[in-house]
Structure 1
Amino acid sequence: MIKKKLSKNPLKPSMNRRFSTLASILQNNWSLIEKSFNTQIVKLKNKIMKKLFLGLALTAGTLAFAQETETKTVNASPLKKDVQPVRFGIKAGGNSAYFSQQKFGINTQQLGFHAGAFVNIPVSKQFSIQPEVLFNQMGAKDVMYSTETDNGVTNVKTKVQSRVQMNYISVPLMVQMRPVDKFYIEAGPEFSYFLNGKNKSESSVASTTGGVTTTTESSNSQDIDKDMINKFNFGLGLGLGYDITSNIGINARYVNSLTKIDKSRPAAENNNRIFQLGLNYKF
């Protein structure tokens, strides 16, 4: 048997020497490499921290400027300064009403009442809006004739009058202005819806003889025909008021209707006039 001799690789000892030399160099310079790497890391951290602090400073400055601007804007508005809270309340009082075709006087005034609730919404220290919902009585009275006769023995007084009583649900929308803290004036529209009503006729005869008076009275009442009445009533109100305390106040108002009552008659001689005087209580 013939044995072949394996030839040795001439490159292997050379490569081993190179790797050994490289390992020796890395081992001798590892501390320098590690130190250089740590230095770069520290520099990178410092750069990141600087940018982070700069960004936070810019953000804080922007927010502070925005807040200051908003504060100045709010303070600059006179409508938002010293605004009182929204308050609810109730009110009630007496009415004195007549029709536009009548002359204002004692013999034409139909007495009634109003009652309901309201909410007062301030928009500034001096101005507020007050919507209301009221049960509201309107109408008129008319003295058809009044006579007196005296024959020397007996005195006779005769009076015949008619009354119209009309019940509405009214929704006034008043704008109030306060020149001083407790006193205000108001104006605004009033929208009303007719519910029902009555026509009443009354007569009285008073006879006096020898100092003795005998009175005879009679009356008749009938419902108003709703088909003849304009259901919706629109008017303009003007009034004033005074706050007796922070909760209790007094109010006076005049309302002039602009729509006709009876559908068959002209509006100029056929609408409501009403005076109101009442008390209100704010919660």
Structure 2
Amino acid sequence: MKRLLFAALAVFSFVSINAQEDDSVASETTFGLKGGYTSLTLKVSAEGNSASDNVGGFYIGAFAEFNASEKFMIQPEVVFASYSEDGESSGVLMVPVLGKYMANEDFGILFGPQFDYLTNEEDSEGLKRFGIGLALGASVDVSDEVYIDARYTFGISNRIDGDLEGLEGFDITARFNYLQIGIGYRL
């Protein structure tokens, strides 16, 4: 977990330094807070068959927007998501590093990698705690300070940690996909 937080800090620092060095671009940097609804879907595939299950929850976090040009910015985030079902809850720390293409003054297209980490050790039995996904989405500015965004993250990494007891020799994969719909506030 320390490595994930260090990586997030390094990305924020690197992008901030690069944005400050380029005076020819509108190097405005904005920070803010965000939160909303999230859904986690676990998709398991084995020998040509697949099944999935999802659980809902909420997320809160912080973001930065670093202008790279008039139409493009980098938007790293650090987000904590909590999922709850049948009285049991799980936490996931997410660090997306998104490119944001502004199609017009108020509408942006989001894309980029998302790193996630299962925070509860007991929830990760048989699963890898660290995962990588590809996020795609959109954002709409409601005002200069407030925006609404929605994104879907496709899990890329297989989350199965080794052979599962009793299922050795089977080709089993598990991926986490995330849906997020929320609101952000620029400080």
Distance (Å, rounded) in 2 between the aligned partners of 1:96 and 1:267? 26
1:116 partner letter = G
Aligned length: 154
Q: How far off its partner does 1:268 sit?
A: 6.5
What RMSD, in angstroms, separates the aligned Cα atoms of the two structures?
Answer: 2.7
**2:178 matched to 1:274?**
yes
1:280 partner letter = G
Candidates 251, 256, 264, aligned match of 2:154: 256
Residue-by-residue CA offset, 1:52-105 (whole Å, 9 max, x unaligned): xxxxxxxxxxxxxxxxxxxxxxxxxxx935x2610000000101221123667x
8 Å contact from structure 1 (residues 248, 279) kept in 2 = yes
Distance (Å, rounded) in 2 between the aligned partners of 1:96 and 1:261? 17
Which structure shows the bigger proportion of residues in helix conformation? 1
Q: How far off its partner does 1:138 sit?
A: 5.8
Query: Structure 1 residue runs of 4+, over 6 Å off?
Result: none
Distance (Å, rounded) in 1 between the aligned partners of 2:176 and 2:87? 14
Q: How far off its partner does 1:257 sit?
A: 1.2
Higher relative contact order (CA 8 A, sep 6+): 2
SS in 1 for 2:159: coil
Q: How far off its partner does 1:163 sit?
A: 9.2
Q: How far off its partner does 1:134 sit?
A: 0.6
Candidates 178, 186, 200, aligned match of 2:102: 178
For residue 241 of structure 1, what is the aligned residue in structure 2?
139
SS in 2 for 1:173: strand
**2:34 matched to 1:136?**
no
Distance (Å, rounded) in 2 between the aligned partners of 1:164 and 1:271? 20
Distance (Å, rounded) in 1 between the aligned partners of 2:171 and 2:67? 36
Q: How far off its partner does 1:229 sit?
A: 2.3
SS in 2 for 1:237: strand
2:59 partner letter = H
Listed as ranges, the gaps of 5+ residues in structure 2 are 1-22, 45-49, 165-169
Distance (Å, rounded) in 1 between the aligned partners of 2:35 and 2:87? 23
The higher radius of gyration belongs to: 1
SS in 2 for 1:270: strand
Residue-by-residue CA offset, 1:114-158 (whole Å, 9 max, x unaligned): 11001100011100001100102469x8xxxxxxxxxxxxxxxxx
SS in 2 for 1:181: coil
8 Å contact from structure 2 (residues 159, 173) kept in 1 = no
Candidates 77, 82, 100, aligned match of 2:43: 100
**After superposition, where does 1:1-283 map in structure 2 within 5 Å?**
80=24, 83=26, 85-101=28-44, 108-137=53-82, 166-196=90-120, 223-224=122-123, 226-263=124-161, 264=163, 269-283=173-187
1:87 partner letter = T
**Cα distance 1:97–1:135, how it changes in 2: closer, same or farther (>3 A)?**
same
1:255 partner letter = T
2:160 partner letter = D
Q: How far off its partner does 1:270 sit?
A: 0.6
Listed as ranges, the gaps of 5+ residues in structure 1 are 1-78, 142-161, 198-222
Distance (Å, rounded) in 2 between the aligned partners of 1:282 and 1:172? 17
8 Å contact from structure 1 (residues 137, 168) kept in 2 = yes
Distance (Å, rounded) in 2 between the aligned partners of 1:133 and 1:267? 33
2:78 partner letter = V
8 Å contact from structure 1 (residues 84, 125) kept in 2 = no
1:276 partner letter = Q
The alignment's TM-score, normalised by the length of structure 1, stands at 0.49
Which structure shows the bigger proportion of residues in strand conformation? 2
Q: How far off its partner does 1:175 sit?
A: 0.3
Distance (Å, rounded) in 2 between the aligned partners of 1:183 and 1:268? 40
